[in-house]
């Protein structure tokens, strides 16, 4: 095991992964507050402090394990994770079904905004390359990782499978009776995602959307990334 390579991989990905996961959850709470539910604020979850959102398994163990696997194999990075869900009391929302869909959409939108932020960091890194390499190289490496993890989390969470964000968005826009039937899929959501993962269908579904958004950022910011 090349421990230097493992530690370098973790160092590059640690901050982008940590903030991609935790700010995703904070965004849910922030929008819920704007729509009438102060639960997340009362619990101290409206913060960029990642330690308020960390789940030991989803924010630490799973991403670190995947980073080590990535560092030790030629496989392309496939890093994901989750934070402690931000509680939302739908009874406090002004229009519960519609507002819950908006709250759900806030997480993937936060990931898109973070991907844009990291694209700017990559652009800055290339502008500094050759003059301030000690700043430029970390910006490029971490920025590239930040784009990857945020776009991946965005498209994954937009899958229309409850309890993923995309499932909650679909439920919120469906007619009430149809939405209630759709919500009954929630206990089976994780099983559905795992089946898609192990059959290879998840990659087939996500990768075209992933590459579309990554290539879009590369084009918009004129980044020389593959």
Residues catalogued as catalytic: 25
Residue 117 and residue 126: Cα distance in Å, rounded? 15
Q: Is 44 left (phi over 0), alpha (psi -120 to 50) or beta?
A: left
Are 27 and 109 spatial neighbours (Cβ–Cβ below 8 Å)?
yes
The candidate with the shortest Cα–Cα distance to 12, out of 71, 58, 60, 57, is 71
How long a stretch of residues is the chain? Answer: 226
φ/ψ of residue 221, rounded to 5:
-100, 5
Residue 78 and residue 61: Cα distance in Å, rounded? 14
Are 17 and 77 spatial neighbours (Cβ–Cβ below 8 Å)?
no
Residue 87 and residue 61: Cα distance in Å, rounded? 22
Annotate 2-28 with b (16+ C-beta within 10 A) or e (fewer): eeeebeebbebbeebbbbbbbbbbbbb
The candidate with the shortest Cα–Cα distance to 87, out of 19, 28, 166, is 28
């Amino acid at each position: 095991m090349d421990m230097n390579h493992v530690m370098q991989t973790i160092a590059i990905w640690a901050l982008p992964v940590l903030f991609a996961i935790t700010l995703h959850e904070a965004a849910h709470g922030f929008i819920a507050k704007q729509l009438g539910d102060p639960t997340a604020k009362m619990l101290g979850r409206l913060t960029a402090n990642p330690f308020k959102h960390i789940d030991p398994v989803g924010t630490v163990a799973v991403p670190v394990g995947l980073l080590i696997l990535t560092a030790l194999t030629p496989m392309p990075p496939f890093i994901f994770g989750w934070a402690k869900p931000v509680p939302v009391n739908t009874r406090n929302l002004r229009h519960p079904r519609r507002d819950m869909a908006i709250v759900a959409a806030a997480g993937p939108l936060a990931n898109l905004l973070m991907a844009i932020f990291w694209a700017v960091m990559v652009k800055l890194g290339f502008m500094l390359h050759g003059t301030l390499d000690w700043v430029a190289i970390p910006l490029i490496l971490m920025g590239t990782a930040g784009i990857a993890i945020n776009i991946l989390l965005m498209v994954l969470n937009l899958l229309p499978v409850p309890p993923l964000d995309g499932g909650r968005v679909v439920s919120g826009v469906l007619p009430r009776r149809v939405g209630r039937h759709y919500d009954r899929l929630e206990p089976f959501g994780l099983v559905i995602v795992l089946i898609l993962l192990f059959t290879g269908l998840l990659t087939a579904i996500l990768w075209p959307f992933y590459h579309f958004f990554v290539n879009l950022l590369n084009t918009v910011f004129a980044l020389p990334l593959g």
